[in-house]
Copies of this chain bind each other. A is one copy, B any other.
Amino acid sequence: MKIALAQLNFFVGDFEGNLRKMLIAVATAKEQGADLVCFPELATCGYPPRDFLEFDDFICRAGHSIEKLAEAARGIAIAVGSPSRNPVIEGKDLYNSAYFLEEGKVKHVQHKALLPTYDVFDEYRYFEPARQFNVVEFKGKKIALSICEDLWNLGNENPLYTVVPLDEMMPQKPDLILNLSASPFSYEHAKNRIHVLRANVERYGIPLIYVNQMGSQTEIIFDGGSLVVSPNGHIFDEMPFFEEAVRTYDFDEILHNGRSVEQPKDKISLIHDALILGIRDYFSKLGFEQAILGLSGGLDSAVVAVLAAKAIGKDNVRCLLMPSQFSSDHSVNDARELAVNLGMQYDIVPIKPLYEAFMQALKPHFRGSPFGVAEENLQARIRGILVMALSNKFGNILLNTTNKSELAVGYGTLYGDMCGGLSVLADVYKTEVFELARFINKDGIIIPENIITKPPSAELRPNQKDSDSLPEYDILDQILYQYIEKRQGPNEIIAMGFDEKVVRRALRLVNINEFKRHQAAPVLRVSPKAFGVGRRMPIVGKYLS
């Protein structure tokens, strides 16, 4: 028996496009001699469909795709994920289902039992969990069909569920575990899933095939990296990251060949590639070609410019340099040098005349109060207006350049430098942005060295430095990581040896700036805990604040 895995880049809600893609993959799999072709979780509608699932019409269209795929399942069987209706009145109206299609018909349907409802996942919002488990027979083999999370109650110390779906199937003596997935990328996910898949293979002693979605859906990136695991726990194959692919495997070879391959999983390299895919898919799926961004001469906007050039082409990225009276000469020069290195179009619009016009208009109302946050924010907001004006005029999307450290502590201006359609670096701590810059420069200078080595500054008042009002980033980022990614409280973090005052101040800043993040651009998620849909905090709360 030969099994094809098709890790494809679906588009949420684009039933026609997704179906077309799958039918082409069915043809490719046939050419590769496959008996069965496997698609990811919820492939008909794309993952995550979110509240589109509440529309009857949406579910009908998914059903229509299944019919069309069943028709195509002649001479080859198809395993594919799709939402399906729960015929019982009690409980949620839908299941998250894996269909097994053969010779024009639905041969078998297995629903998902473990419904992730944490971080970015909301599956219990929509789906009823499976309570029945049956294998499907195909070409003399019994296949334990499962969906994504169904494998994930093993291999961790704190299982989230009281059921282990494959335990329920084992009395039927399956020969193979087939898992249809849509597992979001984070820089540690590729390692984790190998760990979890191996835990399953060790427990059941049969091979495991895992096919994952590829592509970015707003903030959530899927990396592909589909896996074939032999019964001895060796990785028989790991499909490419961040690329669509259709590959066919022989079941006997998986059992007996002994092959063991794994791709490198360097954190910064993975983040780099994920962000490029995230930008590319955001533009292509929204039907936009061109980006605009403000180049400050600082590190964050430099890294975003490089990633954008790699994602959509340097000719599609327009840069705006908007120096103020507080900008140092080197800022403009550094920004210009970067734009030249990248071969990008750039324009310079000094903001001083606009700043003065606003101060003139506001003078009677400011009542002679000294220069302060209002004046700092004013500069950032004038810049926001300027880039948005060009964005609106020429139909390009503003890329936001905020990093995770500053978004965490609220070191950014709402409606100013927080503007943008997509936030590229807001899940990358400042210290990681430095690493990204080094990675980008590893084969030759693209980002001018001065941009990397000079002390970070918002340049909104004379001689300002980030470290005037924030702890040094190498300390701050560690504290933020413990609080955000690891959900450690103040006492635990202080016990790790960090200064109590610094810790309490950092956590307080995170909590009181929730109102800013509520209005932030969507953040490309590359860590296990990103700001946005996966982190849900009260704006009005009185905890550590």
Contacts and interface: CB of A to CB of B under 8 A. Distances in A.
Interface of A: 11-14, 17, 48-52, 54-58, 88-93, 117-118, 122, 124-125, 153, 157-162, 217-218, 281-282, 285-286, 347, 349, 353-354, 357-358, 360-362, 364-366, 369, 372-374, 377-378, 381-382, 384-386, 388-390, 392-393, 414-415, 419, 421, 487, 489-492, 515, 518-522, 533, 535-545
A17 B545 CA distance: 14
13 contacts: A11-B540, A13-B542, A51-B536, A56-B492, A58-B543, A88-B162, A92-B160, A117-B124, A122-B122, A285-B540, A372-B393, A374-B392, A377-B388
Contact of A91 (B58, B157, B162, B389): B162
A156 to B, nearest CB: 10
Contact of A362 (B286, B360, B389, B539): B389
Contacts of A366: 389, 393
A541 B13 contact: yes
A386 B361 contact: yes
A54 B487 contact: yes
Contact of A17 (B91, B384, B542): B542
A319 to B, nearest CB: 12
Given A56-B489, A361-B354, A13 B538 contact: yes
Given A361-B354, A415-B415, A415-B419, A57 B489 contact: yes
A282 B540 contact: yes
Contacts of A384: 381, 415
Given A392-B374, A542-B285, A536 B382 contact: no
A514 to B, nearest CB: 9
A54 B522 CA distance: 23
B522 A539 contact: yes
B218 A539 contact: yes
A322 to B, nearest CB: 10
Contacts of A17: 542
A365 B52 CA distance: 40
**Residue among A56, A281, A358, A369 having the largest count of chain B Cβ atoms under 10 Å:** A358
B55 A487 contact: yes
B542 A11 contact: yes
B361 A377 contact: no
B161 A536 contact: no
Given A12-B542, A414-B419, 9 more contacts: A92-B160, A124-B124, A281-B540, A372-B392, A377-B392, A378-B389, A382-B385, A519-B521, A522-B539
Contact of A48 (B347, B353, B538, B544): B538
Contact of A117 (B57, B88, B117, B537): B117
Nearest to A49: B538
Contacts of A125: 117-118, 122, 124, 536
Contacts of A372: 392-393
A321 to B, nearest CB: 12
A52 B541 contact: yes
Nearest to A159: B90
Contacts of A354: 354, 357-358, 361
A393 B369 contact: yes
Contacts of A358: 354, 385-386, 389
Report which residue of A93, A162, A385 has the largest number of chain B beta carbons within 10 angstroms of its beta carbon. Answer: A385
Contacts of A11: 540-542
A241 to B, nearest CB: 20
Nearest to A483: B55
Contacts of A49: 538, 541
B361 A353 contact: yes
Contacts of A522: 515, 518, 539
Given A91-B160, A362-B386, A374-B392, A51 B535 contact: yes
A358 B414 CA distance: 20
Contacts of A385: 358, 378, 381-382, 385, 415
Contacts of A122: 117, 122, 125, 536
